[in-house]
Homo-oligomer: A and B are copies of this chain.
């Protein structure tokens, strides 16, 4: 069984305060990641930057949880999937995606992928597209309190996806017992670049 932790003494305003503390830090690390990939700085500048980075890491490690972030909930039920590799506001490797649900039940996200997400030169890594689609399709089939896990994901690459501003959409296609089928895609300004379909299964422990 997965460990979803409810932090009993954390009010909604506490959750907002913690987000205000850690989200700008995470944004700074995202900018650093981009600079680390693109820099042409010389030995001295790189050594000076590395010393500052190592100092920052030591400060942050002076008080840190053991293991990964997990998924925590505040006392008021506010979910904090802040470490998540796709949507985590405290995970510098996440774009992060902000996913919104539309009136028809489908979900959509507009996002930007820069140098950190590259595969073929100037283009999104095919695996990154698969990563994003897995999450967006999973979001389309999920409702609060029901944790659905991917059974099978199929990704079809129509053409290369350029780095830059992109969008993703997904919706449920149909449900059959404990299985829910979803479809979706990633698009640039000229239309879809990658399509996906997936079947999600409500795990046995979540049905009991």
Contact = CB atoms under 8 A, between A and B. Distances in A.
Interface of A: 2-5, 21-22, 24-26, 28-29, 31-33, 35-43, 45-46, 48-50, 52-57, 59-65, 67-71, 82-86, 88, 90-93, 114-123, 125-128, 130-135, 138, 147, 149-157, 160, 163
Contact of A130 (B46, B88, B149, B153): B153
Contacts of A83: 37, 115, 118
Given A152-B156, A157-B152, A38 B65 contact: yes
B149 A160 contact: yes
Nearest to A157: B150
- Top 6 nearest A-B pairs (CB, nearest first) are A127-B131, A127-B134, A39-B60, A68-B115, A70-B121, A130-B130
A90 B85 CA distance: 19
A85 B25 contact: no
A24 B163 CA distance: 26
Contacts of A36: 22, 25-26, 29, 60, 90, 92
B130 A155 contact: yes
Contacts of A55: 49, 52
